[in-house]
Structure 1
Amino acid sequence: MTDARNRYRNAPKNADYTIDQDWASYSAEEHDRWNRLAAGVEALLPGRAAPEFITAVDKLGLGSGGVPDMGKLSEMLRPLTGWSVVPVADLVPDEVFFDHLANRRFPAGAFIRSEAEMEYLEEPDIFHDVFGHVPLLADPVYADFMEAYGKGGAAAMARGQLANLARLYWYTIEFGLMKGEDGLRIFGAGILSSTGEIRFSLESDAPNRVGFDLERVMRTKYEIDDYQQTYFVIDSFEALREACYGDFSALYDRLRDLPDIGPAEVVESDRVFHRGVGRAA
């Protein structure tokens, strides 16, 4: 990603890495780009996305109204769960990221992808961060889970086991599935901001779909440059929150002595919803 594509790259930063979104500076083309991205995703949400996500997209007005003003969005979100959305130029240091989450602030990239990157983006932009992540912050249970995740960051860093905690983020917050009354549903932001992965995660025979287990997830490596080879399925946001509350010290101790699991592996203890056939060569 070059500076020319992200005009916020060199914007003045506050001590917490937040910047001025300068919402009035978005061009008509950028607002149109948001609207086309949102329309493409919204068309695929019924019957695929978690109902809580669909409801929140409508409640927060994240559809075809152009690039959101994060200040106004926070004014709607804060009374619901105490969360706010703060603009940043790009990815922030880990300790800053965890501090924001622990204090119910979600740092969102302010730039929007270029026309050439509508289908694939190397780093998260405002559409990924706001359309993908923010809706579920309106759900009280999910909002509690996100705060707990942020509070766990400092402990993981101190133990040198941030990689294990990052896997939890990746396989739930970014690429999680959940059980629904009529089948699996998507709640991960990385899926919900990609029209291609929305279909792939639920409808392709290629990936594994495996029941969520905290230790299993923290042992599982992931890839960042392709669709996932394994998706983990939670039973509910309540179950996810309960699994991730509390001290992970004993779990981290066990993980030090256990081998990693590959992104495409299925292990004997897995609760398998679907065993994938793998990606074509």
Structure 2
Amino acid sequence: MLQPSPSPTAGLRGDYSRMQADWTVPQDPRRYGAEEQDIWRTLLRRQSGLARQHACPQFLGGLAQLDIDERIPDFSQVSDALARRTGWRVVGVPGLIPDDVFYGHLAHRRFPVTVWIRRRDELDYLVEPDLFHDFFGHVPLLADPVFADYMQAYGQRGVEAGAANIHRLARLYWYTVEFGLIRSEEGVKVFGAGIISSAKETLYAIGSPVPARIAFDAGRVMRTAYEIDKLQRTYFVLDDFRQLFDATQVDFPPLYAALARQPEIPTGTVLPHERLIAAAALPQAA
């Protein structure tokens, strides 16, 4: 959801004409037609099947707790369910929004979700995040108390970061919330929304021998460049979500100062001392 361009809405796909001062828009779940509902249903069936095999237990628990089914969710109903569990709410937005607005919403336990859904010819890939990516990929984990607390803490750090350091926080979001992996009793599992909402990336992230899977270290993550239009060459693997929350509880100004004195690490690079995590053995049919 982070805005990649300093221009507020130029070239973006959503309808920004109805947004409020905080960049939110009403969802109106009745506006979705039969084609949009069928696209949601198609994506949900495909990704839910993959999630049952490869997503972390916390994500699967969130899917069940929020009772996500084959109709595009009503944000207000889901917000009520989330609020009872972790105090979070879902707010509709036209699409990508500026960094400061995004961080402000997170800091107040509001998760922005795009109100439009992709076309049928975009089932496998689209450039901007849509309703399916934002909702299916992100919202279930907000039902997990530790992850929910991390997201608020991350938003607060974003509000505090300043322009000189925002790119480092964006890397932390990219390699965790969007493309993170986590250990479980059944092996390495997916929790990042960019993986979980993509069939191709799910199988690649878990089973391909190509990418480096590196044990999570926040400073290392914040030094690592990423690419937005390719399968990732680096993934970071958490031991648990508490480790992720703890990463937001350090004194950030000295951390930023230390990182500024160190070189950027290209994606796909493995440093000599780093502990790598092996790919999973996937069923032959995958």
TM interval, short-chain normalised: over 0.9
Q: Please, which moves more after superposition, 51-60 or 120-129? A: 51-60
1:111 aligns with 2:116: yes
Answer yes or no: is the 8 Å Cα contact 2:157–2:248 preserved in 1: no
- TM-score where L is the length of structure 1: 0.93
- Unpaired segments ≥5 residues, structure 2: 1-8, 280-286
Q: Deviations over 1:220-244 (max 9, x none)?
A: 0000001100100000001111122
CA distance in structure 2 between the aligned counterparts of 1:99 and 1:18, rounded to whole angstroms: 12
1:77 aligns with 2:77: no
Identity %: 46
> 1:1-281 maps to which residues of 2 (within 5 A)?
6=13, 8-64=14-70, 66-158=71-163, 160-274=164-278
Counterpart amino acid of residue 47 in structure 1: Q
- Unpaired segments ≥5 residues, structure 1: 276-281
Residue 190 of structure 1 and its aligned partner are, at CA, apart by: 0.5
Aligned residues: 271
CA distance in structure 1 between the aligned counterparts of 2:16 and 2:159, rounded to whole angstroms: 28
CA distance in structure 1 between the aligned counterparts of 2:96 and 2:262, rounded to whole angstroms: 30
Answer yes or no: is the 8 Å Cα contact 1:18–1:89 preserved in 2: yes
CA distance in structure 2 between the aligned counterparts of 1:147 and 1:172, rounded to whole angstroms: 14
CA distance in structure 2 between the aligned counterparts of 1:102 and 1:213, rounded to whole angstroms: 23
CA distance in structure 1 between the aligned counterparts of 2:17 and 2:82, rounded to whole angstroms: 26
CA distance in structure 2 between the aligned counterparts of 1:259 and 1:246, rounded to whole angstroms: 21
Residue 69 of structure 1 and its aligned partner are, at CA, apart by: 0.9
What secondary structure sits across from 2:83 in the alignment? helix
When the two chains are superposed, the root-mean-square deviation of aligned CA atoms in Å is: 1.8
CA distance in structure 2 between the aligned counterparts of 1:139 and 1:221, rounded to whole angstroms: 28
Q: Deviations over 1:17-55 (max 9, x none)?
A: 000112111001111110110000011122310011011
CA distance in structure 2 between the aligned counterparts of 1:34 and 1:228, rounded to whole angstroms: 25
